[in-house]
Structure 1
Amino acid sequence: MTGKLKGRFMEAGVGITNVHLLNLTKERATISNAEGYFAMDTQVGDTLLISAIRYKRRTFVVSENMLASTTLMIELEPFVNELEEVVLRPYNLSGNLNKDLVNLDVDEPVSAVSLNLPNATAKKRTQAERQLIEATTGGGLVPLNPILNAISGRTKMLKKRLARDKAYLLTQEVRARYPDSLFVKDLRIPQIRIPDFMYFCEVDSAFAELAGRRDDLKMWDFLKVKGLEYRKTNQLD
């Protein structure tokens, strides 16, 4: 039995964007839209892998009931990665504001801010940032938006979405530094699994620090090590 599998990725009733759905049997892939919806041509018995930043990976086998469903609702479980103390280089920042203010000794760079240019600090906000601002502000003597959204949990959800969006963009930026052929030939990662491999790397505590340094050689060394781990974990050898 073949057909189009339609569904929505959810967390606490809210759709999740940028979730990758990989058909490992047919070597196809799709990604959820801004509201969490997806659609993919499949058949009964296909093995699918769900892969997304900040969520636990899941695999499942397509059944007749799934294909018959109008919209398959899939609740994803957040992945909590507890980090130890991190030092940010080159300024040796510890994350402790009082400590860093004492130790930090750098000259102010020449920039639009230091020159006091108009709109120097203005930046284009993402959709998640705009939604969070809307949820936490409001007009009137007693703004109701922050109160209602805090009670409903919408503010907390939007903060999580903003963090996921930033993590997703960082991971995509790192992937864009290298052609897919390097992942396939040098790391022996199947092309369809590259997004999942990047998420596998992202949950490593060293990933974000390396990504921020923009040292392509050290990042590639890191990816090579993670490639071996990924292949072993997923029994690709």
Structure 2
Amino acid sequence: MAQQDIERVLVKGKITAPIGEDVESVSVYNISSQKGTITNAEGLFELEVAENDRVQVTALQFQSFTVIVDAGVIESERMAIYLNPAVNQLEEVIVRPYDLSGNIIADLNRIKTATINPGWDLSYETLEFEYEFSADESTSVKGNKAEEAYYNGQKQASLDFVGLAGLLFPKKNKNAEQEFANKLILHTALRQRFSNSYVSETFGIPENRVNDFLYFLEERGVKRELLKAENELLLLAFIQRESAMYLKKLDSK
């Protein structure tokens, strides 16, 4: 049975953190079902899960981590996640509920945030080709085994999309923030489904352009219905058509 077709229960969740830490607009994405949501101002969320589902949590000020759902979460129909800033660097962040009530403590590295200069050109072309971002002591953990497994061993850019959404859009502008969160969910689903090597070998996209191609697909309007297991052939046909257009665009440059 496909992961998307497994019977799931609606779990009420809450993310808490030390005083002063923001718990709004945290992305909670069920990798197994390829569906997700974001928390409200109180850190509350609802998500359908099944036992052994892998739920990825991404917050602005902490590194991402994955929760493996156990029987306690299913029985209690609740998931309480406490984000605990870690002092030491962690090589792997996969956590399981530590009791039968769905309570979870995640020891995480804090990610330094910065204010966006209103004068910056934040178009995708500028971010991709003109600005150079280098690693420093605040860069997220390298060699994260959980993340490597999630991305089939391929290296990923460390741009924090949820954090960027919070910086770009004022909290009152919920429509813009929700749209950005939807794009994040779509991007995560595509990365989960297709590895760099698969996209390159199947559609002829240069491997160093796969990320750019996926953003191109998102801008072209990938419907979320295409991500369902029963629409696999429709999704592949869509990507095939768009890959021809993308390659033609590359050749014209």
Does the TM-score normalized on the shorter chain lie above 0.5?
no
Q: TM-score, length-normalised on structure 1? A: 0.37
Tell which structure's C-alpha radius of gyration is larger.
1
